[in-house]
Structure 1
Amino acid sequence: MFGNDKHKSPRGGHAVETLIGPHAVIRGDIAFSGGLYVEGTIHGKVTAEDGTAAVITIADNGHIEGEVRAPVVVINGRMTGDVHAGERIELAAHARVSGNVHYKVVEMAAGAVITGRLIHADAPMAQLTGPEPAVVARLKTKAEAQEA
């Protein structure tokens, strides 16, 4: 009744243990556990400690430039870099992601934008690497033949 609800994230109901305030700019890598709520800017890799029930939330005005790795990722701000969500990623309406999103479960609201690839955790590696060299060589040969 008293005290517990004020430390809850607006999305998902996870406890926020660490807050990066709106005027904070952090340059460097961060390792965390529990709940991390980002209203400021982080330039660096943000990684949840292995085996922890960690949640990172990027608020409306929050921005991360670097890779993010966590079981649960909630984005409503800007993310520049790859995201690896071990369990789930939630992309809210104002989310702007420039990078690949690796996920098991994705929830994406109307208005969210991804400039990159959505890659399911169970996707075969062949899909991630692009066409095989033999296929590329055949395409080049066909293109050269059409030009002649």
Structure 2
Amino acid sequence: MFKKRSKNLFDAVETLIGRNAILEGTIKTGKVVRIDGKIKGDIDALGVLIGTEAEVVGDINTKAIVVYGLVEGNINASETIEIMPKAKVVGDIKTNILTIAEGAYFDGKSSIITKEIDDGAEKK
């Protein structure tokens, strides 16, 4: 289900927004966040896990994200984005590795970011 790289990342969920929670505002943390409720605002976290009943309206900036629920906003993940079956993502995404499962819905523009070192310069 998770790529080997990101699996260990999601073993350490530190912040949980519960299924009955409704939050308006920005979430910023250097740790992993699991969202099962409703968020209206941006998320900036090391890792993000969007549960099956979760709804996020806002932009997400992270290292890795797995989406089972709904995201309406742009996602920028430096390593991986996984959109699971029945998940819905509406917005532009940028990442190094993108996985969209059969049955998932994605409406937006996707950009794959690659980082290569060439004489000390980073290429995108």
Place the TM-score, normalised by the shorter chain, in its bin: 0.7 to 0.9
1:35 is aligned with what amino acid?
V
Whole-Å separation in 1 of the counterparts to 2:87 and 2:110: 14
**How well do the aligned residues superpose, as a CA RMSD in angstroms?**
1.4
Flag the structure with more relative contact order, 1 or 2, with Cα contacts below 8 A and sequence separation at least 6: 2
Q: Which residue of 2 aligns with 1:25?
A: 22
Q: Which residue of 1 aligns with 2:92?
A: 100
- Greater helix content: 1
1:41 is aligned with what amino acid?
K
Whole-Å separation in 1 of the counterparts to 2:7 and 2:101: 14
* Alpha-carbon displacement from aligned partner over 1:64-92 (angstroms, at most 9, x marks no partner): 10000000011010000100011111111
Q: How does 1:12-51 map to 2 (within 5 A)?
A: 12-13=7-8, 14=10, 15-48=12-45
Of structures 1 and 2, the larger Rg is shown by 1
Q: Which sections of structure 1, spanning at least 5 residues, go unmatched?
A: 1-10, 49-53, 123-148
How much has 1:39 moved relative to structure 2? 0.2
Q: Which runs of 4+ in 1 moved over 4 A?
A: none
- Taking structure 1 as the reference length, the TM-score comes to 0.69
Percent identity between matched residues is 28
Q: Which sections of structure 2, spanning at least 5 residues, go unmatched?
A: 1-5, 115-124
Whole-Å separation in 1 of the counterparts to 2:40 and 2:56: 6
User: Secondary structure of the equivalent of 2:82?
Assistant: strand
How much has 1:12 moved relative to structure 2? 3.0
How much has 1:18 moved relative to structure 2? 0.7
* Alpha-carbon displacement from aligned partner over 1:13-51 (angstroms, at most 9, x marks no partner): 521111000010110111012211000011001012xxx
Whole-Å separation in 1 of the counterparts to 2:85 and 2:51: 11
Alignment length, in residue pairs?
Answer: 107
User: Secondary structure of the equivalent of 1:17?
Assistant: strand
User: Secondary structure of the equivalent of 2:53?
Assistant: coil
Q: Which residue of 2 aligns with 1:74?
A: 66
